[in-house]
Amino acid sequence: MSYSRNQLHSFTRAFFEKIGCSAGNAAIIADVFVAAEMRGIGSHGLIRIPDHYHLWKAGRLNTKPAMKITRETVSTAVIDGDNAPGMLAAAFSMDTAIRKASGAGTCWVACRNSNHFGIAGYYAMMALEHDMIGICLTNANPLVAPTFSISRLLGTNPIAVAVPAGKHPPFVADFSTTPIARGKLEVAVRKGEKTLFGYVQDREGRPSDNPGILREGGAMLPLGGDREHGSHKGYCLSATVDILSALLSGAGFGPFVPPSVAYLPLPGENNGKGTGHFFGAMRIDAFRDAGEFKNAMDKWIDTFRKAESVEGQPSVLIPGDIERKQEEISKKRGMNLIPAVIDELNRIASELDMDTRL
């Protein structure tokens, strides 16, 4: 069965209103969830609503947050998310970065006391209409082991960068610092599929192709996979994301990120507040006339589109191509959800006595 943007947006909005969000805030959150579905990143879409439901039931999510700036300079701000759903804290943080960058040229915002915020690319892309480059980082559930280790000390810690172009659509990179996003392992679990080797290891550090191994003490590997192929670089990247997101803001770092999944225990020690994010907005014309930059960006994109493929391989993609094409398809044909997810969401809707069903 296929759903329209409106159907998914209404359901998500209704759910977040039901658990206490204002209508305006529920709409902001639904925008992010539905953007994930539209862009073909179902792993970060409505499949995550049950996690929010369980966190809310456990009293671990504040649906009436008083978010505020706690420190600032002309080109920086620190925001306390007051344990809001991550989408609210992130949208507020990126709005702040954009507002302040229009004065100072750039602005960098560290956010603590937040939660899982969905797709990082959404916030980076908020900068585009202002002729700014947008950047968004976040730490996440501790499920990644640094090189040589079995200890789960880092998250999949994604990096998103959005860059405006001229005649071409923007460059939008949004990727985890692991070979595969955790959400894609979740999808494999729900579909009952195995994964390739090189994504996860078991609790003793042996290679595994079981996407459910994280529930059994296994860990994800950093981008690069093994030491010989640069996993220490993936570890450096993930560590950098963690430090900028958590240590500048005062959020929980690494193993102290509050888990958004039920199979991870709450961290015993409290080394910071909630999940941490880091946002950047850079005005193009702080560096170069925006028109000139966009022309150069168009040339960049043309150059990469003209790259020669390895025989039998597809054409070179510009970051954002796949998601944008999927968005167009979603507009026309609607979106599918995994049947098990639909059942789970309808069960939640019924438990909450919501008027809406999928």
Q: Enumerate residues 315-334 that contact a second copy by CB under 8 A.
A: 315-317, 319
The pattern of x and - marking residues 37 through 76 that bind a second copy according to CB under 8 A reads: ----------------------------------x-xxxx
Buried b (16+ CB within 10 A) or exposed e, 213-236: bbeeebbbbbbbbeeeeebbebbb
How far from 83 is each of 9, 47, 55, CA to CA, in Å? 23, 21, 11
- Please choose, from the candidates 348, 13, 297, 44, the residue with its C-alpha nearest in 3D space to the C-alpha of residue 176: 44
Q: How far is the CB of 298 from a second copy (least distance, A)?
A: 10
Which one of 151, 210, 346, 356 is in contact with a second copy (CB under 8 A)?
151
Which residue, 25 or 238, has its beta carbon nearer to a second copy?
238
Which one of 236, 290, 342, 354 is in contact with a second copy (CB under 8 A)?
236
Q: Is 39 left (phi over 0), alpha (psi -120 to 50) or beta?
A: alpha
Q: Which residues pair with 173 in a beta bridge?
A: 161
Cα–Cα dist 252/256, whole Å:
5
User: Is 322 strand, coil or helix?
Assistant: helix
Single out the segment in contact with a second copy by CB under 8 A; choices: 40-48, 49-57, 201-209, 341-349: 201-209
For the segment 110-129, give every residue that binds a second copy (CB under 8 A).
110
Single out the segment in contact with a second copy by CB under 8 A; choices: 25-33, 61-69, 89-97, 224-232: 224-232
Applying CB under 8 A, does 297 fall inside the site for a second copy? yes
For the segment 247-276, give every residue that binds a second copy (CB under 8 A).
247-250, 253-255, 271-272
Applying CB under 8 A, does 288 fall inside the site for a second copy? yes
Which one of 57, 167, 191, 299 is in contact with a second copy (CB under 8 A)?
299
DSSP 135: E
Which helix (H) or strand (E) covers residue 200, if one does? strand 200-201
Which one of 2, 22, 303, 350 is in contact with a second copy (CB under 8 A)?
303
Q: Confirm if 153 and 255 have CB atoms less than 8 A apart.
A: yes
Q: How far is the CB of 300 from a second copy (least distance, A)?
A: 6
Beta strands 159-163 and 132-138, pairing class: antiparallel
Applying CB under 8 A, does 107 fall inside the site for a second copy? yes
Q: How far is the CB of 287 from a second copy (least distance, A)?
A: 4
For the segment 177-196, give every residue that binds a second copy (CB under 8 A).
177-180, 196
Q: How far is the CB of 139 from a second copy (least distance, A)?
A: 11
Applying CB under 8 A, does 170 fall inside the site for a second copy? no
Applying CB under 8 A, does 146 fall inside the site for a second copy? yes
Applying CB under 8 A, does 230 fall inside the site for a second copy? yes
Applying CB under 8 A, does 210 fall inside the site for a second copy? no
Q: For the chain, give the number of residues.
A: 358
Q: Confirm if 186 and 47 have CB atoms less than 8 A apart.
A: yes
Q: How far is the CB of 168 from a second copy (least distance, A)?
A: 13
Q: How far is the CB of 64 from a second copy (least distance, A)?
A: 27
Q: How far is the CB of 31 from a second copy (least distance, A)?
A: 24
Long-range CB pairs of 18-23, under 8 A, 24+ apart, other chains included: 18/352, 18/353, 18/354, 19/52, 19/53, 19/56, 19/61, 19/63, 19/352, 20/56, 20/63, 20/64, 21/63, 21/64, 21/85, 21/88, 22/64
Residue 122, Cβ density class (10 Å: 0-12 exposed, 13-18 middle, ≥19 buried): buried
Which residue, 85 or 252, has its beta carbon nearer to a second copy?
252
CB atoms within 10 A of CB 180: 20
Cα–Cα dist 232/175, whole Å:
17
CA angle in degrees (0–180, nearest 5) for 24-348-14: 20
Which one of 287, 291, 340, 343 is in contact with a second copy (CB under 8 A)?
287
Which one of 147, 326, 336, 356 is in contact with a second copy (CB under 8 A)?
147
